Each structure stands twice: as C-alpha cells, then as structure tokens.
A = this chain, B = another copy of it.
Amino acid sequence: MNDRYREPGQASGQTSLADIAAEAGVSVSTVSRIANGDLGRASAATVAKVQRLIAERGYRPNPIGRSLRGGDSRLVAMLAPNLDNPAMAAIAASTEAALRAAGYVMILCDTHDRPDLQDEYLRAMRSRFAEGFIVVSAVASPELEASLDRREPIVFVNRRNPYGGGPFIGIDNRQAGADAADHLLACGVRAPAVIHPTELSSTIRERVEGFLDRLEERRPGLTVRRYDGPGDNHLDCGYAASRRMAADGGWPDGVLCPSDLMAYGLFRAAGEQGVRIPDDCLPVGIDDNDLNDWIAPWLSSIKIPYRRFGDAIVTSLRDLRAGGSVGEVLLPHQLIRRRSGGETIEN
C-alpha cells in the first residue's frame, strides 16, 4: 500500500506457529498442542525446547486464525444506545472490566436506539464471530429476532427482551418506583406528580406503574398528575414535560423523575421559572448518577448499581454459553437521600 506506514500485525509482524515450528525442527501441530497446554503428546525434551522458543520469541496465538478455524474468538459485542448517557458509560465501563478479567475483548457499538443500526451491528458482529452479545436497552428489530431464533447467546440489560424471555440484568423497576413513592410521602409530599418521556420503554413504564400503584395503595383516590415530554434524550424530555406541568397546573410539591437525566431537565425548567429545588418542589430520581454527590446535592435518587452490572453480565453470558438456563438477575437498588446542603445520608 505504502512504505511509510505498515499494517500492524501483518505477515512480517507477529511470530507464528510456523516460525516456532521451523526453528524447533518440529511440526506446527506439535507446537500448537504444546502452546495449548497439551503436554502429554510430546517428549519432555521437545516440550521444553518449544516452550523456551515460545517464551523467547514472544509467541502469542493469532486470534484471527483461531476464530477462522472455528475456535473461540474471545470477542463479545456490546450494543448500547447513546454512550453520552452517563448510565450507559457506567455500564460499558464495568462490563469492559469484567470481560477483560474473563479474558474477553469487548466491542462497543453505539446503536443510537435505532433498530436499523442495531441490526447492522448484529450482522457485522456475527460475521466477526462474536461469541456473545450484550444488548443494552434493546429495541425490537428483525435481526434481533433472527438472532434469538438461532439461539445465539444474548444478554439483555436494562430493558427486557422485546420478544420475551432470555437472560436479563437490571433492577426491580416496579419496586424502585414504589420506593420513590414511599420516599416522597415520607418527606411530606401531598400532591406528587410524575413526568416521563412521551415514548415509554418497558423500563420506564414499570417504574411509573410501581410509583402509581404504591401511591394508590397508600393514598387511595389521590389523583397523581402525569406529564410526558418529547425529545431524543431524557434531558430534553424532562425539561419539556416539566414546562408542560408548570403551564398546566403549576409546580407540584414532589415529582418522580424516572431517570436522573429527567430530573436534570426538571431542574433547569425550575431554575428558569424561579422555582426552588428541592424546597418548593422535591424531585426523586432513579439511576443516581455519580455526579449527583458533587453537583446535584438537591437530588435524592434511587441508586442502580451499574458498577456491579459487569460481573452479573459476564456470569450470565458464561452460563448461557455453558448451556445453563439463565433467567433474570435483579440487582438491589437503594435510595440515596440528599439534602440541599450536600450531605449524603445513606440508609
């Protein structure tokens, strides 16, 4: 192509089985077996010689050759919508670490929540011999359905399999909504409201339902104001919904924001209208973004242990590949109470 910059790892690069074999005066098969720990198939002398050469030349098996042969590729694809969302970044970071610890390499694909991109990535990764898929906030798409039909190992995170079944990692969203309701009532909120995106995912729906059901249970007959907002991301949704809410009947004394980003949208709208948060209006979020402790001391939020998702995901993926039947893993959430001053009180 050009002589200034070489392809990395190309022919002249890495030492291959053949190089070692030639130098040791044995066949590639023998070297391969020794490299893979099958030491009983060669004499002690041969094993020693080959092992020495492997160490000396820094031989590392080429994953490409391996995958082609049909062995494992040690590649796992993670499909996530929009990395800009700090929650996604947290999941990605913890999954990456867990996979690396298990000897895998993660390919991260940003699907922008679009079914067509999700499909494109599923195809691309399949033909790259990805050994498994982690789909965060999956959307229904033809290729996803096809993958499920082929019984490919797929772990769903955050949002359940739109076609039902399959392993799932997340929290008990209904319970989280109920906990949020309890929190608002405990803080003396009389007329709570709820905002949510116009387009409801199953995750958000469950949180809102859990919230409403718990309120109905504890305050029968109480009407809960409910506003939705349009937008690509939860920041915009939260902002738009809050403005609708303010225009419709003024600010309530408490609001469930089913994601922290929506709470940030509410915060902005409140600031613009001179409404003091949390004194005039007490929001409760779900996610508990790491930054809350630093710059959003006004936001109590239900912490989702995204840092722990990685391990759970890798465990599920392994069980799946081992043929075990894998169900849902619901990790524990926890309300983090914050007061405006910035002190955090964990219960």
Residues of A within 8 A of B (CB): 1-11, 13-14, 60, 62-65, 67-68, 70, 73, 82-84, 86, 89-90, 92-93, 96-97, 100, 105-110, 123-133, 147, 150-153, 235, 264-265, 267-268, 271-272, 290-291, 293-297, 320-323, 341-342
Contacts and interface: CB of A to CB of B under 8 A. Distances in A.
Task: List 9 tightest A-B contacts by C-beta distance, closest first.
Answer: A2-B323, A271-B342, A83-B93, A264-B294, A8-B152, A108-B108, A89-B89, A9-B126, A4-B323
Among A9, A96, A323, residue most surrounded by chain B Cβ atoms (within 10 Å): A9
A167 to B, nearest CB: 11
Contact of A68 (B14, B64, B97, B107): B64
B11 A153 contact: no
A253 to B, nearest CB: 21
A8 B123 contact: no
A195 to B, nearest CB: 15
B105 A124 contact: yes
19 contacts: A4-B323, A5-B152, A5-B153, A5-B320, A5-B321, A6-B150, A10-B70, A10-B129, A13-B126, A63-B128, A64-B73, A64-B127, A65-B68, A84-B290, A96-B108, A96-B109, A97-B110, A108-B108, A235-B294
A115 to B, nearest CB: 16
Given A108-B106, A293-B268, A60 B127 contact: yes
A245 B7 CA distance: 50
A141 to B, nearest CB: 15
Contact of A86 (B89, B129, B235): B89
A237 to B, nearest CB: 12
A90 to B, nearest CB: 7
A252 to B, nearest CB: 20
Contacts of A294: 235, 264-265, 267-268
Nearest to A91: B83
A5 B322 CA distance: 8
